[in-house]
Structure 1
Amino acid sequence: MANKINPPLPGNPPPEAAQTLLALFHAQGEVARLSERDQLFSSLLDSVNAVLWAFDWETRQVLYVSPAYERIFGRPVSLVLADYNEWRDSIFPDDLEYAEGSLAQVLTKGSVEDREYRIINAAGETRWLSDKCYINQQQEGDRVIIVGIAEDITEKKHLEGELQRLATTDVLTQSSNRRHFFECAQQAFDSARAEGSPLAFLLLDIDDFKQINDSYGHQEGDQVLQRIADSGKAVLRRGDQFGRIGGEEFAAVFPGCTAQVAEQIAERLQREIQRLSFTHGQQTYGVTVSQGLTGLTDEDATLDTLFARADAAMYQAKRQGKNQIVRG
C-alpha cells in the first residue's frame, strides 16, 4: 500500500517555511539588539566630555574622532577628518612644540599618558586638554595607528590655579605671603650665587602702624596695608618679588640688581607711599615707611645673612627718625 502523505493543515506553514520564519525572527531580533547596542554606544560617546580619536601616523590622517570634538573644539568633525591640521592649528602656539613632540614619543614608548596642553576653540576660548595616547600596532609591518582620549580638564586647571593662588598669596593684600616670598627669594639667591649675578634685598616697615589701628580701627589699618602693597606692585620691576612677611612688614628681592639700582627703586617706592592719602571721618592723614636695603656679597653663604643685614638696616632707619632708607 502506497504511503499516504498528509497535506499540511490549513493555516500551518510547512516545516521548511517555519524554520525560515524562525530564522527571520532571530535575525530581526539580532538586528534590533545590534541597533540598540549602537544607540547605547552612541549615547555614551555623546555624554563623555572627552574626544576619542584615531590617527594614522604615516599618512597624517585622522581616522576617527568622537562627537565631543565638536563640543570642545567648536568645529565640525568633518573638517578634522579631512585635514589633520584642523587639530594642529587649534593648539595654543606656546604649547605646539610640546604637543607634537610628546605625540611622537608614543612611537618609542608605546604610550604617553601625561600630555597636557592648551587649545583655542572656534569661540576663541582657551581650553586645557589631558591627551593620553597609545600605539595600536598588532605586529611588525602593520599600519601605525595611534589611538587616544583627549579630556577637557579646563575646570580642573582653573581650580588648581585658584588653590595655588590661595596657597601663595596674602589674602588681605594679594601680594606674596611669607612662605611663598621666601621660597622665591631662596631661588633668586641660589641662582645669583651660581651665576655670580647681583641681587638686592629690601625690608619695609610701616611707621607707627599701631597708632593707625588704635586711632582709626583695624579696618582702616587693613586699607593702609592694601594700598602700600599696591604701591609696591606698581613700582617694582617685572621679575622682582614683593610680599607681606609680617603684620605691617613687607619685603622685596631684586634679581640681577645691584644695591645701588635697588636703592633708586626703593626711593621711588618711598615717594609713592608718601603721596598716599587716607580719610577717616573728617580727618585726612598719610603714612610713611622705613626701609632697610642690602646687596649680595661674596661672604653671603645663605639668604638669612641678607635678611639679617636688611633687618638691622631697617631698624636703624627707625632709630634715625623713620621715613627713610638705610643701606646695610
Structure 2
Amino acid sequence: MTEPHLFTASQYQSICNSLPDPTFILTESGRYVAILGGKDKRYYHDGSSLLGKRVSDVLTANKAQWFVQKIQDAIASQKMLVVEYELSASDVLGLTADGPVEPIWFEGRISALEQPYCDEKAVVWVASNITANKRMQQLLQRQAMSDELTGLYNRRRLMQVLEQAYIDFKKHAKPASLLSFDVDNFKAINDGLGHPAGDQALLELANAVRKLASPGDCVCRLGGDEFSILCQGRTMSDITAFASQLLQTGREVLQPYATQGSMPGLSLGIAHFCPEDTSMEAIMRRADQALYLSKTQGGHQMNVTDGCGKTAAASVKNMPSAS
C-alpha cells in the first residue's frame, strides 16, 4: 500500500497561499493575525496590509462591531457560522477614490480554532465574493415584484406592503390609505387605436403617477388598466389633495388617446384604514367598492369610504385644486 505523501511546511504554505478565496485568521478582539489565499484577482485585492491591524482600524464603528460579534458568536458556539454581508465604500476607512462604487457582497464561513493566537482565542474566516449571484438574486426579486409593462410594483408586492401597513396600523395607529383606480373608456382606446396604443397610454399614465406620488407611496399596476397606491403616514386632507392631482393628471395624460365619442380619464376609490377594519382584504374591498361607485356615477371622480362602508363622492371640479 502506498504511503500518503507528506507535504513539507513550505508546500503547505504554498497551498494555503494559492487558495482562490481569502482566508483570515482573526482573534476574538478583531485583530488580523494571518491572511491566506485570495489569489482570484477578479474579485480580491492584496490584503497583506491588514496584518496586525484590528477591524476597527479598517471599518466604521458599526461594521467593525458586527464583525467582532460574529467572531465571538463562532467561538462561543464552537460551530461553523455562515453569514452574508456587504461592504461598500462608506464602510471602509481611508478608502481611496478608486475604490468600488457598488457594494460588494460576501459569504463568510467562520470556524473557531483550537489553539489561541497572540494569546487570544481566534477563528478562521473564509470570505467568498458572491456579488454576482447576489445581484442576480436581487434582479429576479425585483422582476418578481414588478409589472413588466410599466415597471411599477405588481399585485404580489402590493399584498406584501399592504399586510405590513395593516399590522402597523393595528399596533401603532400609523395612518394609511389605499387608493384604487382604473381608466375610464380604456376599451375604446384598444378598439379604436389598437392595443399598442393602449399599452403606451398605460405606460405614460404609470410614469406620470410615479412622478406625482411621494417617495414612500407604493404604486402598483394590478393588471389591465387597474392600479392601486398605498400611502402611509399621510393625512386624509393630503390624500384628498393627492387624489385630486391624480384625477387631473390622468385626464391630461390620457387626452391624446381620446376616441370619437369617448374621453378617457380615471375613476378612483379611496379607503382610509379604520379601527373597524378586521383584515387587509376588508380594506381592499372598500377601496374597490368606492372605485365601482365612481365608475357607475360617470367616471372622472373619486369616492371615499369610511370603516362603516359609507361613501362620499367628489368630481375633479369640486375638489381642491392641486398646488
Shorter-chain TM-score: what band? 0.7 to 0.9
Matching residue of 2:205:
228
Q: TM-score by structure 2 length?
A: 0.77
Three-state SS of the structure 1 residue aligned to 2:100 is coil
Matching residue of 2:47:
77
Matching residue of 2:318:
none
The answer to whether residue 12 in structure 2 is matched with residue 41 in structure 1 is: no
Could you tell me which runs of 5 or more consecutive residues in structure 2 were left unpaired when the two chains were aligned: 90-97, 306-323
The answer to whether residue 39 in structure 2 is matched with residue 63 in structure 1 is: no
**For the Cα contact (< 8 Å) 1:276–1:286, is it kept in 2?**
no
The answer to whether residue 306 in structure 2 is matched with residue 318 in structure 1 is: no
Q: CA–CA distance in 1 between the matches of 2:248 and 2:232?
A: 22
Q: Could you tell me which of 54, 58, 69 is aligned with 1:101?
A: 69
Q: 1:218 to 1:95 in 2, by over 3 A?
A: farther
- CA shift, 1:161, in A, is 0.3
Q: 1:98 to 1:86 in 2, by over 3 A?
A: closer
Three-state SS of the structure 2 residue aligned to 1:321 is coil
Three-state SS of the structure 1 residue aligned to 2:82 is coil
Q: CA–CA distance in 1 between the matches of 2:196 and 2:216?
A: 31
The answer to whether residue 92 in structure 2 is matched with residue 124 in structure 1 is: no
Three-state SS of the structure 1 residue aligned to 2:51 is helix
The answer to whether residue 304 in structure 2 is matched with residue 327 in structure 1 is: yes
- CA shift, 1:231, in A, is 2.0
1:123 partner amino acid: G
Report the structure number with the largest CA radius of gyration: 1
Percent of counterpart pairs with the same letter?
Answer: 24
Deviations 1:125-163 (A, max 9, x none): 421011111110248x97412112100000110111011
Three-state SS of the structure 1 residue aligned to 2:192 is helix
Q: 1:87 to 1:222 in 2, by over 3 A?
A: farther
Q: CA–CA distance in 2 between the matches of 1:219 and 1:267?
A: 28
Q: CA–CA distance in 1 between the matches of 2:187 and 2:30?
A: 72
Matching residue of 1:5:
none
Q: 1:302 to 1:265 in 2, by over 3 A?
A: same
**For the Cα contact (< 8 Å) 1:276–1:287, is it kept in 2?**
no
Count of residues in correspondence between the two structures? 289
Could you tell me which runs of 5 or more consecutive residues in structure 1 were left unpaired when the two chains were aligned: 1-29
Q: 1:255 to 1:246 in 2, by over 3 A?
A: same
1:186 partner amino acid: E
The answer to whether residue 85 in structure 2 is matched with residue 114 in structure 1 is: no
- CA shift, 1:41, in A, is 2.3
Q: TM-score by structure 1 length?
A: 0.76
Higher helix share: 1
Q: CA–CA distance in 2 between the matches of 1:229 and 1:97?
A: 43
The answer to whether residue 283 in structure 2 is matched with residue 306 in structure 1 is: yes
Deviations 1:271-311 (A, max 9, x none): 2223326768xx9x974111111212221111222222211
Three-state SS of the structure 2 residue aligned to 1:149 is strand
Q: CA–CA distance in 2 between the matches of 1:218 and 1:246?
A: 14
Deviations 1:212-236 (A, max 9, x none): 0111111111111112222222222
Q: CA–CA distance in 1 between the matches of 2:13 and 2:51?
A: 22
Q: Could you tell me which of 196, 200, 217 is aligned with 2:173?
A: 196
Three-state SS of the structure 2 residue aligned to 1:150 is strand
Matching residue of 1:16:
none
- The within-5 A match list for 1:25-40 is 37=11
Q: CA–CA distance in 2 between the matches of 1:252 and 1:224?
A: 18
- The within-5 A match list for 1:170-319 is 170-276=147-253, 287-319=264-296
- CA shift, 1:110, in A, is 2.1
2:302 partner amino acid: I
Mean Cα deviation higher: 204-213 or 111-120? 111-120
1:41 partner amino acid: I
- CA shift, 1:83, in A, is 2.6
Mean Cα deviation higher: 206-215 or 295-304? 295-304
Three-state SS of the structure 2 residue aligned to 1:275 is helix
- CA shift, 1:112, in A, is 4.8
